Amino acid sequence: MVLILWVNIMPNQIEDKRKILLRVKRIKGQVQALETALEDGVECGAILQQICSVRGAINGLMNEMLEVHLKDTLVTGETTEQERRDELTEIAKILKSYLK
């Protein structure tokens, strides 16, 4: 018996995808600024603040991506009850890993 698990790789809605990509680009800019600050020898307090900002941005990205994914797969997706149950199990594993 072959089990085919439906996996949603990207947000289905164009607006959702656009918002996610904008967040990623902002994070990229924050990380580049952090790298520059480290290279330029900026004081530790300012670097720590930038790290906090990057962490907050990553958390925001995770929250938004999770919300979009849940909406696309569990709410509006055309899946069976078993597929939704399997997807929920997979999401739980991801969240446990993320929250470590």
Q: Kindly report, residue by residue over 14-68, the tens digit of the pLDDT.
A: 888 999 999 999 999 999 999 999 999 999 999 999 999 999 999 999 999 999 8
More confident residue, 85 or 39: 39
User: pTM for the full model?
Assistant: 0.77
Is the pLDDT reported for residue 6 higher than 50?
no
Q: How far apart are CA 30 and CA 36, in angstroms?
A: 10
More confident residue, 1 or 52: 52
